[in-house]
Amino acid sequence: MFNYITKSIIPIIVLIIITYGMIKGRKVYDWFVEGAKDGLKVCVNIFPYLLAMIIAVQIFREANLLDMLNNAIAPLCKLIDLPKEVVPLVLIKPLSGSGAMGVFTDILKNYGADTPIGLVASVIMGTTETIFYTVTVYFGAVKIKKTRHTVWAAIMADMSAIIMAILMVRGSNIAIFIGMAATVVVGMVFGLIDLPTSIISMPPSIAPTFGVAIKNLYYSFK
């Protein structure tokens, strides 16, 4: 029953939106066609950025730069107790999702999913992001060249995820807290996060994100 609901949730949502639009007398099909046209334009716009990223990743892998970088950061990995077998996954994940999946699959085949190496790799695979690929696609789609703090903030989030993965596999109950605290401290050191002015403050507003999305959806069918 649960699997059926999970598979059906997206079609149900789409059906509800279409039905609601038709009840309101909106031109749902015309909007769909216009959206498809805009989607093709976005694909054309981001293709040069995506192609450059794919070529860069291929050069990075074929030139054995991965092995060189692996050896260079080996002392740091030893310091934080990151298994050397997982380092290639950490290095390739920000660049390529498919490449990371290949490395991850090899790790599970060679060491198993229930070993400490397999567990660390699994947590890292699920909690980190293809930073440069994602930035290339989304910023390229809107033709933004200055990413400001986006890349560094994303890298810090990945570093936090790596620290949490190691601590969680060790059985630490405060792994998430330590990872978040480490990210905040590093962010403040490099000026990416403002220094706190009080111990307790109001939570961040959801208005710039979910609020705008819900508002636009509401006015579309009003």
Q: DSSP secondary-structure letter at 145?
A: -
Do residues 163 and 178 touch, judged by C-beta distance below 8 A?
Answer: yes
Is residue 108 helix, strand or coil? helix
Q: pLDDT (tens digit, 9 = 90+) per residue, 196-212?
A: 777 777 777 777 666 66
Give the count of domains, the chain: 1
Q: pLDDT (tens digit, 9 = 90+) per residue, 10-44?
A: 888 888 888 887 887 778 788 888 888 888 887 78
* Mean pLDDT on 171-180: 81
pTM of the shown model = 0.63
CA 143, distance to chain mean position in Å, is 20
Handedness of CA 206, 211, 214, 217 (dihedral sign): negative
Domain of 159 in residue numbering reads as 2-220
